[in-house]
Structure formats: C-alpha cells, structure tokens
Structure 1
Amino acid sequence: MRTSKWAILVYVVVIIFGCIAALPNVLTPAQREQFAGWLPVKPVTLGLDLKGGSHLVLEVDAAGLRKARLETLLDDTRRALRAERISASSARIAGDTVTVKIEDPADREKVLPKLKELAAPVGTLGFGGAASDIEVTENGDSINIAMTEAGLADRTTKAVEQSLEIIRQRVDTVGVAEPLIQRVGSDRILVQLPGLEDPTALRQLLGSTAQMSFHMVDQTVDPNQPAPRGVDILPGAHDNNKYAVESRVAISGERLADAKAGFDQRTNEPIVSFTFDTLGARQFAEITQAAVGRPFAIVLDGKVLTAPVIREPIIGGNGQISGNFTAQEATVLSALLRSGALPAPLTVIEERSVGPNLGSDSIRMGIYTGLAGFALVVTLMVVLYGAWGMIANVGLVLHTILTIALLAMLGSTLTLPGIAGIILGIGMAVDANILINARIREETEAGAGAMKALDIGFNKAYATIIDSNVTTLSGTVLLFAFGSGPVKGFAVTMMLGIIISMFTSITVVRLMMREVVVRRKMKKLEIPSLFGKVPKLPSFSFMKGRFVAIGMSAFLSVSSVVLFFTPGLNYGIDFVGGIQVETTSKNTLDLPTLRHNLEALNIGEVALQEFGQDKSVLIRVQRQPGGEQEQTAALNRIKDAVVQTIPDASFERTEVVGPTVSTELARSGFLAVGLAMVAILLYIWFRFEWHFAVGAIAVLLLDITKTIGFFALTGIDFNLTAIAALLTMIGYSVNDKVVVYDRMRENLRKYKSMPFSDLIDMSINQVIARCIFTSMATAFSLVPMAIWGGDAVKSFAWPMIFGVIVATTSSIYIGGPILLFLNRWWKDREASRGGTTTPQAGTPAA
C-alpha cells in the first residue's frame, strides 16, 4: 500500500495531461480556435461512418504492368535483331516470356549480349548490387527473355508510388477537404474523402489511366470491317461510332504542357483547351501542315474523344477538345490530362460511402448509447458496493477520459465500431474493480484489519487481473492485425481500454481507497451493498449436476452446428462480395414497384429490407459475374432504378465489395479467430497447467459454436463486425475462465489433500459473484447499443450479449466438469503405465 510521492506525482501529471488532451473533443470549433495555443493535441478524427464521405481502395493492375513490360521487351528485342540484321519476325510473346528463335549458332552468340543489355536495374537485393528485372536463358535454338519476380515487384512498387502522387494531384483538382491518400500493402492505395457523398465522378477520375495520344485517321479503311496491319478500330468515347486510326502515335500525351476546362464562345458547349510543350508544339505544327483536310483523332485510354478535320495548320501549339461533354466531364478530363498518365491501370476493388445525415445520426446514437451504458454500469457499481462503488466510478470516468485522450494523441480515427469498443471497454473495465472488492470482502470476513484487507485484496487480485486482461488483449491484437477499416478502429479502442483500465484500477482506485482508510482511521474495511451487508459465500455443488450441464451444453452446440449448415449464416457483403445500398425517402416507399424495377435489371437476386417507419430500405444485390468493374456498373444501374422509382430518394450508404476483397476479408477473419485460440492456449499453458489450457479451449469451442448458432438462428449479418464480436467474446470467455482457474490454482496450493471435485465446487462458489456481476456490467454497457445503436453495430452488440451470457454459464457449469474429466483421465493414464507419481505443486490430487 506504500506509494512514493514521486510515483503519485507522475500519476497526477498523467491524469491532468489526459484531461487536457481530451478537452478539445468537448469544445466547440470557436472555443478550440480560441485556446489553440495551449491545447496539446487536436480532437479525435471522426471516421467516414460518423461524418459522411467516400472510401475507395484501388489496386494496381500487376497483369497490365507485366503485359506492358513484355511488349516493350518485344519492341526492344526486334530493334536489337534488326541492328544485327536478323529477322525481327523470329521474336514473339509466348505466355510471360519473349521467345526468339535463331537457328544459326553464330547469330545467337552475336545477339545474346545485346539482349542481356535490355535488362533494367531493380533496386538492391541483400548485400549485392543492382539486380536485373529480366532473365535471359538459352533453350536449344531459342533465347527466352522472362521477367523476374523481383522485377515485377519493383515495378509494382514504383507504380504505386507514382500513382500516389498522381492521385493526390487529381483529388486536389476536385477540391475535397482533408483527403486521406495512403499506400496499403504492396499494390493498393486507400483514398478516403470526407464529405463526398457520391464518388462516381471521382471513381472515374481515379480509375482512368489517362494515357492520351494523337493519331491520324485512315479514311481508306472501313471501321466496320477487320482492320489491316497498322490500323486499329477504336470506339468513340461519347458516341456509338467506330474510328479507323493509325496504330502509330503521331504525338504522345506526354508532350502536353497544360489543359483547362472552359466553354466554346460560339456554341457555349463545354470544351477542354490544351497546350503542348516546345517539342510537342513543333510536332503538332508539322502534322497539321502536312495533313490539312484529314481527320485527326484524340485518343484517351483506347477510346476516341473526338476526331476533328484539320482545316488549317496550327502553329501555336494550342488546341481544344470538344464533344458531347458535360461541364463536369470537361473538368474531370482536364484534371486527368494535367496530372499525367498513370503508370498502370488502377481498379476500384472496394467502395463505401456514407451520407452526412447518416453520419450525424451515428454520432448522436453513439453518444446516447454510450451515456446510457455508462449510467447503467455506474448504477450497478453503486448498488453492489455502495459508497465504495463511487470510487470505482471515478476510475471509470478517468478510464473514459484517458481513452479518448490517447486516441487523440495517437491520431487515431474514431469510427462507430470504435465507439462500441469504448462502451464495451467501460463494461469490461469494471471487472478489475469487482475482483478487488470481492477479494477485500473475503479478507475482511477472514478477520483482517482495514489496511491488511486492502493490501492483500489488491495483491491477490493483481495476478488475476493481469492474466485475464492479457488473454483478452491477445484476441484484440489479432483483430487489429487481420481486421480492416472500422474493425481496426474497434481493436484500437479495445486495446487502449484494456491497458488504461489496469492503470486506473491498480493505481488510481487503490490510492483513493487507501486515502479513505487512512483519513477515516478505519479499523475494519467493510464493503456493503446499497441494501446492506452482503450474505456469506454460497455452497452450491456444481459437480453433482455436471452430467446434466455437459449434456445440455453438448446438445446446444450440436444444434448450433446443424444450424450452421441449415439454414446457414447470413453472410454480409464483406465475405461474399456484392452491392449494398441504403436509401431514404420523405414519403412511404413503394417496395413492390421498386423490387420489380430492380429485378428488371437482370442483376441476380435482389433483397429488400425495410426499416425506419417504411421510409428507408436496404437493397442488397449479389456479386456480379466478372471483375470489379462489373460491380461498379451494377451500382450505377441500381441508383438509376431507385431514382426513377423514388424521385426524392437520398442514398445514405453504399458499399461495393469485389471478389478480391471479400475473399481476403473472409480468410483473414477466420484466420484471426484460429490464431486467437492458439495464442490463448499457449498463454494459459504457460501460466497454469496443460489440462487448464486444454479445458479452456474445449469450453471455448462450445461457446463459439453456440454463438455461431445464435447468428444462424437470428439471421443477423455475419460480417467483419460479427468477427469482431466473436473475437471479443473469445477474449471475454477466456477472461472469465482465467478468474476461475486462478482461484483453483490458489486453492490447490492451500488444500493439497482436498478431493479435486470438492475443490472445484469451492473455487466456483468463491468467484460466482464476480462472474455474475462482471457479466451484468458488460451486458448493461451493451444493451443500449443493441437497442438503439442501429444496423452498423447490431451485428456486434446482440451476439456479444448472448456471448457474455454463454461465457458466464460455461465458466460456472462447464469449465469445472471438463477440468475434472481431464484430471481423472490423466491420473488413470499414469496409473495404467504401472506406477504412481507424486503430484507436483499445483497439480490436483486424484
């Protein structure tokens, strides 16, 4: 109970700084501006699900990069062959290799060094020098030129870095405030744009490669017939015409110096004016002088924007692009041309957008449910521990303030699942206080004085608090490692909540309780409930009914497995991919007409879920055949159909998850659950005994199967949020088991000759109040979220409440019997080997 003055000073400084760091989150923007000089951090950044905006994940087309490099290699190879007067037609692309067939050995020897010179250096690998991006090998009379994996990886990395800069330039032209553009993994780019409700135009802006070129139109070729060599048939970008253009590039788009959107003074139609650099202007002048009267095609990403006839030579290096543009399309095109071409195509593989109305509703619901949950937990602590419960509540208030302060200091983004994590963290932070108060009560009943009861109570609770929090933390760390987006936000708030709860409970609450004991000169420390003295510990015999308990648990788990297959889980689009659109109207929706119009699109099964007093509907459409572009096209068709049916419709939320993302999310989610169980198994094995670890995993599997059955029975979306609930429930369940196991380990050392079944009964009776009270506190924090939190956290809150109930009952009724069975099986196994063994410390007696 002794704490140095320096340590107390550090605690005070931490708390004061935490309060100041959290202060910006409750100040108005004007007040923040007024006190900006001495506020240490900015307020917590709100996620897109709280303030509205768009979220896009783009992937660099590695196959396109490989193809482009192979075509360049083919051209360079043919050029090298011509230089040595060898037939260039002997070079061709076969799969991922450029193959050159040369029958004359002398010619092969002559051209081989030239082909090896085509390699481009690729960074530095290990301690060597620059590595080659191609591999040149001989195979009989053929020379094979293939790209190395290191070469492709290096090109992908450079393409992503270059694309990042180009995307920043393109986004800046749109004028989105505070965009987040960052690299994710090796070949992806995350773009988050607050306040942008409809990302359609931006998606086109970011996804366009913007490879622009100028070609002469071959008027002798019929565009509706197969094209001869040297001519390409290209479609029009704004019409249904086809154009026969020469394959040879007359002027490259790289020669453009500037591009601006404007209006034609004669027709008032939107146009894009462009200017060439010095070399481009000279080339443009030469072409227009030599080709007066011929059409000149301007091609962007394989489509002809316009093909005007050259009326007269253009000397100044200026031109304009006109067509059936809208003003917005002209702005986008000019932005594309100014920022330059992307080094490789970018594919939008994930798209999510949230309207500002839904975001403000989420903030309001998050605050209301948080306050309601906090009030229920505070009330429970006062009911259980009276005035001493108020000390615990002070710790809870500090816990919440420090969590918000640390989120702001780390620059974390707060999402709706993150708010759920804070609320759940409040419920679980109570566990340490319940453990401490229960221990103090036991020491007081055993006759200890006030200070001794306080000292021993904290010391005995300390190890249990550490063990239980570490097991919960292990699942949360894995959730952070394998989760994405809002799920990571939930994991961050949970991790911070767990760590901060240990600080507030073990230091702040301890110091406050000690101060009360010292100042009041208390001889005996009693912690009565609000209704008076707490009755003595119960003495139920749980082991007598173990067969009934295990039988019931097994029946529920087997039933849950059956439900998993029939009817199965209602997988969200996170796992199966597809499109989800939430739309709202001021009037009652005509669902039959909306369903008919959507089904007429022939986009597969359409599911409509009505809510919000018949004025809101959630539209779900299965994943479309093909790649990510087909998903985006289907989304636009759905929006058009909704607007036609409901003229005043507003889109509150849209989500598009392509097949690449959905497969990865499913794999990483289930991998996180598996790794969490392995981590917990190893930790309990390390801290206790092997049979405790195996017993915990066995009970955990029963808890998980029941929770999966709950998902199947209720039809709640099984998505990333559900995986978060499952991992949190795993941590909570093991937390519960560790508390029981810790008491058993303590009693094993104290009562070495007691029959193991009696020792289990005694241990469970000693901690049963803690198990029930902690589960009540956690459930109380979740109930408001489950009722009023909305669809975004519904698939988290209800399963968590169910999981808390299942975890608590399994800790009381299932964990002990399984441990008893394992113990007896081990003893029988040892006895059957023909010898008796002396039990080690901590090993249950037979």
Structure 2
Amino acid sequence: MRTSKWAILAYVAITLFGIIAALPNVLSVETQQRYAAYLPVKPVTLGLDLKGGSHLVLEVDAAGLRQARLNTLLDDIRGVLRTERVPVSSARIAGDAIVVTIADVDARGRVAPKINALAAPASPLGFGTSSSDIDVTSTDAAITVRLTQAGLDERMTAAVDQSLEIIRRRVDQVGVAEPLIQRVGSDRILVQLPGLQDPTRLRQLLGSTAQMSFHMVDQTVDPNGVAPRGVDILVGANDPAKYAVETRVAISGERLADAKAGFNQQTNEPIVSFSFDAQGARQFAEITRDNVGKPFAIVLDGKVLTAPVIREPILGGQGQISGNFTAQEATVLSALLRSGALPAPLTIIEERSVGPNLGSDSIRMGIFTGIAGFILVVTLMLVLYGSWGMIANIGLLLHTILTIGVLGMLGSTLTLPGIAGIILGIGMAVDANILINARIREETAAGAGAMKALDVGFNKAYATIIDSNVTTLAGTVLLFAFGSGPVRGFAVTMMLGIVISMFTSITVVRLMMREVVVRRKMKKLDIPWLFGKVRHLPHFSFMRGRYIAIATSAFLSISSIILFFTPGLNYGIDFVGGIQVETTSKTTLDLPKLRENLEGLNLGEVALQEFGQGTSVLIRVQRQPGGEQEQTVALNAIKGAVASSIPDASFERTEVVGPTISAELARSGFLAVSLAMLAILIYIWWRFEWHFAVGAIAVLLLDITKTIGFFALTGIDFNLTAIAAVLTMIGYSVNDKVVVYDRMRENLRKYKSMPFSELIDMSINQVLARCIFTSMATAFSLVPMAIWGGDAVKSFAWPMIFGVIVATTSSIYIGGPILLFLSRWWKDRETARAAGLPGEPVKG
C-alpha cells in the first residue's frame, strides 16, 4: 500500500490536467472565447448526429476511369492512323483492350512505334503516372493495347487526390462552414458538412463530373432517328428535347477561365456567364465566325444545357448559358464550372443527414439519460457499501470527467453512440470497485487487520481486474478497427472508459481508502452496506442442477436459432441498403393516408414505424433499381408524398445506403464478432488453461445465440449499433466469466484435493454477490437510455440489458457445468491413454 511521493504527484498531475481538459465542455461559448488562450484543449467536437448536418461517402468509379482512359487512347490511336493514312476503323475497343487490325506489314511497322510512344507518363486527364500504364503487343495482323494494373492503380490514386481538391473547391464555392473532406481507403472520399440538412443540393454538387464541352449541332440529322458515325443523340438537361450533336469536341471545357451566376437584365431570368482563356477565346472566335446562323451546343456531363444559334461572331471570349434555371441551380452550375471537371465519375454510396432539432434533442437526451444512469449507479454503491461507497462514487465521477477530458485532448468526435459508450462505461467502471470491496470484506472476515485487508484485497483484485478488462478491451478494439462513423465513436469512448477506470480504481480509490484507514487509525476495516452489517448469501449447489440448467440454456439457444431463420432479423439499412426518412409533426400523424400516398409512388415495399406518441414516423423504402440519380429521385418523391400528407412535416433525418457499403458493413461487422471471440479464446488459453478457454467460448456462443434470438423476437433493428451491442455484450460476458475462472484458479492452488465439482460450487458462491452487483450497476446505467434514449440507441440499450442478464446467469449456471464436463472428459482421456486404451474412458 506504500506509494512514493513522485507517483502521488504524477497521479495528482494527471487528474488535475484531465479535469482542466474537461472544463471547456461545461463553459458557455462566450466564456470559452474569452479564456481560449488559457484553456489547454478545445471542447469535444460534436458529431453530425448531435449538431445536424450531412454525411456522404463517395467512391471513384474505377470502371468509368478505365473507360475514359480507353476512349482517350482510342482517339490518340486513330490520330496516329490518320497521320499514316490508315483507315481509322482499323482501331476498336474490345473489352478492356484496344485492337488495331492492319493487314499491311509496312503500315503496321510504321504505326506500331507511334502507338508505343502513347505510353508516355503524361496523362490527358491532368496527372501523370510514374511508369507506362499500357502494354502493347503485336501479332501477325493486329496490335493490341491493354491497360496495366499498376498504371490503373496509380491513375486511381491520382484521380482520388485530384477529386479531393476539386470537391474541396466546390464546397468552398457554396460556402459551407467547417467542412470535413478526407480520403477513406484507396478509392473513397468522406464529406461531412455541418448544418446542411438537405443533401439533394450536395448530391448535385458532388456527384456531377462537370465535364463541359462545346459541340456543333448537325442540322442534317434527325435527332429522333439513328445517328450516323461522328454524331451523338443527346437529351436536354432541362428539357425533354433531343439534339444531334457532333461527337468531335469544338472547344474543351478545360479552356474555361471563369463562370459566374447572374441574371439576364432583359428577362430577369437566372443565367451563368462564362469566359475562356486566351486559347479558348481564339477557338471560340473562329467557331462563331465560321458558323453564323448555326446552333452551337453546350454539353455538361452528356446532356445539352442549351443550344443557342450563333447570331454573330463573338470575339471577346465570353458567353452565357441560359435555360430553365432557378437561382440556386445557376449558383451550383457556376461553382461546378469554376472548380473544374472531375477526372472520373463519383458514386455516392452512403448518405446520411440529421436536422439540428433532432441533434439538440439527442444532446438533451444524452445528458438526461447519462445523469439518470449515474444517479442510479451512485445510489447502488451507497446502498451496497455505505460511506465507503462514496469513495467509489468519487472515483466514478472522476472517471467520467477524465473520459470527457481525454476525448477533448484526442480531438475525438462525440456521437450519440459515443454518449451511450460513456454511460455504459459508468456502469462497467463500478466493477473494479465491487471486486475490490468484495475482496476486502473477505480478508476482514478471515481476521485480517485494516491495512492488511486493504493491501491483500487490492492485490488479489488486481489480476482479476486486468484479466476482465483486457477481454472487454479486445472487443472494443476490434469494433474500432472494423466499425465506421458513430460506431467507432462508441468504441473510442469504451476503450478510454476501460483504461481510465483501471487508473481511477487502482490508484485514486486505493489512495483515498488508505488515507481514511491511516487517519482514522483503523484496526479493522469493515465495509457494511447502508442498512448495517452485511449478511452472507446462503450456499447454493449449482452443480447439482447442472443438467436442468444446460438443458434450459440449450433449449433457449436452439429456439433463438429457429427465430433467426423464422421470422429472421429486422435488418436495418446499414446491412441491406435502402432509403430511410424520419419525419415529425406537431399533430398526430394520419398514417393510413401517408401509407396510401407512399405506396402510390411504386417504390416497392414501404415500411412505416410510428413513435413519439403518434407525432413521428420512420419511413423505410427499399433501394431503387439504377444508380444514385434514381435514389435522389425516390428520396424527393418520398418527401413530396410526406409533405402532401402532413403539411407541417419536418424532416429530422434521412439516410441512403447503397449495396456496396451495406455489404461491406455487414461483412466487417460479422468479421469483428468472429475475431473478438478468437482473441478472447487465445487470451484465456494463455492466462488460464485450454478447457477454461474452450468453456468460455462455448458459453459465449450460447449467450450470443440468445441475444440474436432477442433481436428476432422483438423486431429491434439489427444494424451497426446492434453489432456494437453484441460486441460489447461479448466483452461483458467474458469479463463476468473471467472473474469466476480467476476464483476457480485461486482455489485450485489452495484446495488441491477438493473434488472439482465442489470447488466450482465454492468458487461461484464466493463471487456470486459480485456478479449480481456488477450486473445491477451495468443494467442501472442502461435503463434510462433504453426508456428515454430514443430510436437511435434503442437497438443498443435493450439488447445490452438482456445480454447482461444472460451473461450473468450463464456465468453462474452454465460456465461451471461445461468446465466440469471438459475437465472430466480430459482426465478420462488421459487416464485411458496412460492405461494404453486410447479412446476408451475409464469408468468409475
């Protein structure tokens, strides 16, 4: 129990710095600004689900990038063929390659070196590669040009980097404050825009490639007929008309120097004015001079914005685009043109938006449920340990403050699941204090003096605290590694909570308890509960009823597996993809009318989930066939149907998840669960023995199946938050079992001749109170969240409460019998082997 003064100073310094780091979170904005120079860290950043905003994940279209490179190569190769007077029809795209068929050997000999020269690092897309991105091979009558994988990978990297910069410029043009734009993986970009509630405009801004070009219109071709070679039939961007446009680009959009939104002074309609650079101005002057009286098409992303007739030569290099624009559309278009064209199409594979009202409600709910959970846990500790419980509560308060302070120091983003992680951490942090107090009570009952009881109690509890927390930490680390977005925020708060709880329990609480013992000169350290002396629980023979316990557990697990298949889990859009909209109204919603209007949209199956006393509804629609544009159309149609059914409706939350991201989330979620179980198996095997590890995993599988059955039976959304609940439950379940196993290991050393079944009973009875009290503390911290937390955390809180109950009962009733069975099986096997009878167990 002795601690050096330097260690005490270090503990005090860490604690004070943590408190100061958490301080900005309780100060008003004005106070923060006034004392900003004196505050060590900024307040914790709130996630979009707490302050409102839009979140999008965009993926660079690898197929589009490859096709664009092939098209460019084909144009270059045909240019070579024209120079050598070889028919351009000799070159064609065949799959992922370009085949140039030339029967004449001399012509093929002249063309081949020039095609090889096209493999220069310089790229027409505006960035270069460090090595050739094409592979040229020749046969008897053909030259084949293929794109190399290394070149495509370099081109993809460069395309993502260029797209990042262009997206940043586009967002800056619109003027969104504090945007987060960053690369995710090799081909994805994350965009988070606080405060932007309607992502439709953002989709238009980010999803468009903005590849603008100018073409002559061929008036000799019927746009409703079949286009000849060299002519494309394009549709209008703002009207249903069709245009016969020459394939050849008259002026590239790269020659644009500037673009601005404005209004036509005569008609007062929105327009976009543009100007060319010097070379573009010369080209524009030549084209308008040579084609007076002919239509000239301005094409953006394969659609004709406008096709005005050239009235006279335009020599200044300036023009304007007019059409059926709104002022907002003109602003977005000018921003697109100013920022430049993307090197490849971007696909929006995930989209989530939250209104500020829902965000503020989430903050209020998080604070309310957190305080309620904290009060319940504090009350429990006071009831269980009286005045000594106050020391544990001080450590618990310090644990919460330090968690918030470290989150601020790390610059972490606090999300709604993150708040859930802090609340759950409050309940789980009590476990160390319960273990310590239980050990001190045992040492006092055995006749130890105050200081010895304190010393031995902390020492014996220390190993158990480490083992139990490491197993819980394994699940949260994997949750962070394989999770995404808010779920990662939950993992961060849980990891911090686990580490900080060990610090506060093993150092701060220990020092405070020692100080009380020394100052009061206590001879005996009694820790009574609030109502007097602690009464010992009666001794139960759990092994006597082991067959009934295992049969009951097996029946519940088999029933849960059946429920998993029929009716199955209610998978959220995280895993199946689709569109989800949450809307609220000041009056009671007319759900039949809303359902009728939504079903009239012919968007497939529509699911409505009412909550909030009939004033809120969650609308789910399956993902629509087609690309991202179809999802936008469907989302706007849903909003229109809601607005017509509920005049005062406000959209609190919208989510669109594509099949790519949903499949990845499902795969990563289940992989995280599997790896967590493997990590736990290895750790317990290393710390205990193989049958302890196998027994823990066997009981864990029973716990997981029951929890999955709970999801199927209740119909609670099985989404990423649910995966977080399952992983946390795994950590908690193993935590519980490690405590029991640790006591068994201790008793095995102490009572070497005791029958194993009696030793298991004795060990379980010794930790029974701890198991029950820890479960109560964890459940108490979760109950307010489950009742008042709202739909966003419901799929976490209720399953966790159920999981805590299942984990505790399995630790008491199931873990011991399975361990007994494995131990007897192994001993019988070893006895049979020693007797020279492999595989034949010894009876008796």
TM-score interval (norm. to shorter): over 0.9
Deviates more, 1:549-558 or 1:82-91: 82-91
Superposition deviation, residue 437 in structure 1: 0.6
Retained in 2: the 8 A contact 1:57–1:349? yes
Residue of structure 2 in register with 1:563 after alignment: 563
Per the alignment, in what secondary structure is the counterpart of residue 79 of structure 2?
Answer: helix
Corresponding position: 1:72 with 2:72: yes
Retained in 2: the 8 A contact 1:18–1:402? yes
For 2:225 and 2:107, how far apart are their aligned partners in 1? Answer: 40
Superposition deviation, residue 142 in structure 1: 3.1
Superposition deviation, residue 630 in structure 1: 2.4
Superposition deviation, residue 97 in structure 1: 1.0
For 2:553 and 2:189, how far apart are their aligned partners in 1? Answer: 47
Residue of structure 2 in register with 1:374 after alignment: 374
Residue of structure 2 in register with 1:689 after alignment: 689
Superposition deviation, residue 615 in structure 1: 1.7
The aligned runs of 1:344-355 (5 Å cut-off) are 344-355=344-355
Corresponding position: 1:168 with 2:185: no
Per the alignment, in what secondary structure is the counterpart of residue 266 of structure 2?
Answer: coil
Superposition deviation, residue 697 in structure 1: 0.3
Superposition deviation, residue 587 in structure 1: 2.2
Corresponding position: 1:426 with 2:431: no
| Paired amino acid for 1:171 | V
The aligned runs of 1:358-757 (5 Å cut-off) are 358-536=358-536, 538-757=538-757
Question: 1:646-668 deviations in whole A, cap 9, x for unaligned?
Answer: 22211011111111111111111
Corresponding position: 1:212 with 2:212: yes
For 1:681 and 1:627, how far apart are their aligned partners in 2? Answer: 44
Residue of structure 1 in register with 2:780 after alignment: 780
Superposition deviation, residue 309 in structure 1: 1.2
TM-score (normalizing by structure 1): 0.97
For 1:49 and 1:438, how far apart are their aligned partners in 2? Answer: 41
Deviates more, 1:113-122 or 1:310-319: 113-122
Task: Quickly say closer, same or farther: Cα 1:292–1:141, change in 2 above 3 A.
Answer: closer
Retained in 2: the 8 A contact 1:122–1:151? no
Task: Quickly say closer, same or farther: Cα 1:471–1:140, change in 2 above 3 A.
Answer: farther
Task: Quickly say closer, same or farther: Cα 1:252–1:550, change in 2 above 3 A.
Answer: same
Per the alignment, in what secondary structure is the counterpart of residue 68 of structure 2?
Answer: helix
Question: 1:328-382 deviations in whole A, cap 9, x for unaligned?
Answer: 0000011011001011111111111111111111000000000000000000111
| Paired amino acid for 1:794 | K
| Paired amino acid for 1:196 | L
Residue of structure 2 in register with 1:257 after alignment: 257
| Paired amino acid for 1:656 | V
Residue of structure 2 in register with 1:286 after alignment: 286
For 2:351 and 2:637, how far apart are their aligned partners in 1? Answer: 16
For 1:601 and 1:492, how far apart are their aligned partners in 2? Answer: 42
Superposition deviation, residue 205 in structure 1: 0.8
The percentage of aligned residue pairs carrying the same residue is 83
Per the alignment, in what secondary structure is the counterpart of residue 647 of structure 1?
Answer: coil
Task: Quickly say closer, same or farther: Cα 1:357–1:835, change in 2 above 3 A.
Answer: same
| Paired amino acid for 1:424 | L
Superposition deviation, residue 100 in structure 1: 2.3
Quote the RMSD (CA, aligned, Å). Answer: 1.6
Retained in 2: the 8 A contact 1:627–1:659? no
Residue of structure 1 in register with 2:832 after alignment: 832
Retained in 2: the 8 A contact 1:348–1:629? no
Superposition deviation, residue 74 in structure 1: 1.7
For 1:441 and 1:173, how far apart are their aligned partners in 2? Answer: 67
Residue of structure 2 in register with 1:274 after alignment: 274
For 2:519 and 2:154, how far apart are their aligned partners in 1? Answer: 69
Retained in 2: the 8 A contact 1:168–1:181? yes
For 1:307 and 1:320, how far apart are their aligned partners in 2? Answer: 11
Question: 1:54-73 deviations in whole A, cap 9, x for unaligned?
Answer: 11111111100000111112
Task: Quickly say closer, same or farther: Cα 1:315–1:779, change in 2 above 3 A.
Answer: same
Task: Quickly say closer, same or farther: Cα 1:731–1:525, change in 2 above 3 A.
Answer: same
For 2:207 and 2:701, how far apart are their aligned partners in 1? Answer: 45
For 1:83 and 1:292, how far apart are their aligned partners in 2? Answer: 31
Superposition deviation, residue 153 in structure 1: 1.5
Superposition deviation, residue 762 in structure 1: 0.7
Superposition deviation, residue 109 in structure 1: 5.1
Residue of structure 2 in register with 1:840 after alignment: none
Question: 1:400-455 deviations in whole A, cap 9, x for unaligned?
Answer: 01110111111111000000000000100000000111111111111111111111
Question: 1:68-114 deviations in whole A, cap 9, x for unaligned?
Answer: 11111222223334445544432221111112234455655554443
Superposition deviation, residue 250 in structure 1: 1.1
Deviates more, 1:237-246 or 1:773-782: 237-246
Superposition deviation, residue 513 in structure 1: 0.7
| Paired amino acid for 2:676 | A
| Paired amino acid for 2:273 | S
For 1:600 and 1:363, how far apart are their aligned partners in 2? Answer: 37
Superposition deviation, residue 608 in structure 1: 1.1
For 1:330 and 1:406, how far apart are their aligned partners in 2? Answer: 46
Superposition deviation, residue 116 in structure 1: 2.8
Task: Quickly say closer, same or farther: Cα 1:147–1:48, change in 2 above 3 A.
Answer: same
Question: 1:253-296 deviations in whole A, cap 9, x for unaligned?
Answer: 11111111111111111111111111111111111111111111
For 1:17 and 1:836, how far apart are their aligned partners in 2? Answer: 66
Task: Quickly say closer, same or farther: Cα 1:172–1:745, change in 2 above 3 A.
Answer: same
For 1:537 and 1:374, how far apart are their aligned partners in 2? Answer: 27
Task: Quickly say closer, same or farther: Cα 1:815–1:786, change in 2 above 3 A.
Answer: same
| Paired amino acid for 1:792 | A
Question: 1:235-262 deviations in whole A, cap 9, x for unaligned?
Answer: 1111111111111111111111111111
Per the alignment, in what secondary structure is the counterpart of residue 54 of structure 1?
Answer: strand
Superposition deviation, residue 156 in structure 1: 1.2
Per the alignment, in what secondary structure is the counterpart of residue 33 of structure 1?
Answer: helix
Per the alignment, in what secondary structure is the counterpart of residue 37 of structure 1?
Answer: helix
Corresponding position: 1:6 with 2:3: no
Retained in 2: the 8 A contact 1:347–1:629? no
For 2:629 and 2:808, how far apart are their aligned partners in 1? Answer: 47
Per the alignment, in what secondary structure is the counterpart of residue 417 of structure 2?
Answer: helix
Task: Quickly say closer, same or farther: Cα 1:114–1:500, change in 2 above 3 A.
Answer: same
For 1:370 and 1:163, how far apart are their aligned partners in 2? Answer: 42
TM-score (normalizing by structure 2): 0.97
Give the aligned length.
Answer: 833
Residue of structure 2 in register with 1:227 after alignment: 227
Unmatched segments (≥5 aa) in structure 1: 124-128, 838-845
Residue of structure 2 in register with 1:237 after alignment: 237
Superposition deviation, residue 818 in structure 1: 0.1
Superposition deviation, residue 130 in structure 1: 4.3
Superposition deviation, residue 119 in structure 1: 2.0
Residue of structure 1 in register with 2:841 after alignment: none
Retained in 2: the 8 A contact 1:537–1:766? no
Question: 1:665-716 deviations in whole A, cap 9, x for unaligned?
Answer: 1111111111111111011111110000000000000000000000011010
Residue of structure 1 in register with 2:196 after alignment: 196
For 2:447 and 2:104, how far apart are their aligned partners in 1? Answer: 103
Per the alignment, in what secondary structure is the counterpart of residue 546 of structure 1?
Answer: helix
Residue of structure 1 in register with 2:840 after alignment: none
Retained in 2: the 8 A contact 1:103–1:141? yes
Deviates more, 1:281-290 or 1:135-144: 135-144
Deviates more, 1:525-534 or 1:419-428: 525-534
Superposition deviation, residue 131 in structure 1: 3.5
Question: 1:481-500 deviations in whole A, cap 9, x for unaligned?
Answer: 11111100100100010011
Per the alignment, in what secondary structure is the counterpart of residue 260 of structure 2?
Answer: strand
For 1:775 and 1:517, how far apart are their aligned partners in 2? Answer: 29
